[in-house]
Amino acid sequence: MRGFLPFLGHRLFRAVIALWLVSTVVFVVMRLSGDPVPLLLPPDAPRSEIFRVRAELGLDRPLPVQYGVFLANLARGDFGRSIHFREPAFSVVRGYLAATLELGLTAFVLAALVAVPIGLFSAMRRNTLVDHAAMGVALVGQSAPTFFLGILFILLLSLKADLFPTSGRGDWRHLVLPALTLGAFTMASIARLTRSAVLEVLGADYIRTARAKGVSERWVVAKHTLKNAAIPIVTITGLQFGTLLGGAVVTETVFSWPGIGRLAIQSIYNRDYPVVQCTVFLAALLFIVINFFIDLVYGLLDPRIRAG
């Protein structure tokens, strides 16, 4: 593989820049959002007390100094101590991150496993009842708000049909409804995109050539169509992972899932700077890592990308 190492180095450099930018934006925005100290003390605490706690947390220092300390600690992997929980921010986030990964990856895999075959099938049975039905459902999945879908699933599949628990984290049965809810949008997007990507490839000259030389339809799809349609599908799949992390907030709230989305919201309300910074940093890191692997997959799928 020519130039793989420079490619890797370039990617890594860009990842570091992206992480630095994300951390800086969060640092600034959180400081603009207000002072955490009033939320920590009783409502009638005297002024002197507020100043004391502010000093204790290092919030009395000039912003550039706070920023310098923040970056220096970050470089050592130290996200600081949670103002609200009074323990290292990373150890707070770690527990939530596991829950979010469990949910996010399940939703992601579920979405990909269901959506790609549906999209493919729809494309091959273009303009039939099956195609219209599948794309109709996909449209609903893409347009229905997560909140609505979640409550609907709880009422229908849990309360009425008694198939799954209503909420909370536990065994695999607890995972099904939140993963379906979270994955619905992604599933629908991937299905629709797969359909159009496959349709486009199916109209290409080389497919007509393959068919003309008597290649079986199954082989046409497996060998010639799927591989060529894969690039846009893989791209959207990678980007959708970010949507999954972002969309997790609502799903986690509806299903009482103890994930980083809820933690981030709560920590923003509590103005718990270190936890918010740590959460966003790790989410960004995750997104970057996933997309890095997707870039690698591109190279495998299409030699032209590797070369270029």
Alpha carbon distance 55, 26 (integer Å): 21
CA-closest candidate to residue 258, choices 178, 168, 185: 168
CB environment 108-124: b (16+ within 10 A), e (fewer): bebbbebbbebbbbbbb
CB of 237 to other proteins, least distance (A): 29
**How crowded is residue 222: how many other Cβ atoms within 10 Å of its Cβ?**
11
Among 124-132, 159-167, 195-203, 223-231, the segment contacting other proteins (CB under 8 A)? 159-167
Alpha carbon distance 47, 108 (integer Å): 50
Among 21-29, 106-114, 160-168, 191-199, the segment contacting other proteins (CB under 8 A)? 160-168
Across-strand partners of 88?
Answer: 81
Q: Are 194 and 116 in contact (CB under 8 A)?
A: yes
CB of 85 to other proteins, least distance (A): 8
Interaction of residue 66 with other proteins, rule CB under 8 A: no
Interaction of residue 262 with other proteins, rule CB under 8 A: yes
Choose, by CB under 8 A, the member of 51, 206, 219, 269 that binds other proteins: 269
Please, which residue, 116 or 154, has the CB nearer to other proteins?
154
Residue 5: burial class (beta carbons within 10 Å; 0-12, 13-18, 19+): exposed
Among 80-88, 227-235, 281-289, 294-302, the segment contacting other proteins (CB under 8 A)? 80-88
Interaction of residue 159 with other proteins, rule CB under 8 A: yes
Choose, by CB under 8 A, the member of 136, 168, 246, 303 that binds other proteins: 168
Interaction of residue 64 with other proteins, rule CB under 8 A: no
CA-closest candidate to residue 179, choices 102, 274, 282: 102
The contact mask relative to other proteins for 82-111 (x = CB under 8 A, - = no) is --xxxx----x--xx--x------------
In order of 115, 118, 122, 142, 221, the CA distances from 131 in angstroms are 13, 9, 4, 16, 17
Contact positions vs other proteins (CB under 8 A): 34-35, 38-39, 41-45, 49, 53, 84-87, 92, 95-96, 99, 151, 154-155, 158-159, 162, 165-169, 253-256, 258, 262-263, 266, 269-271
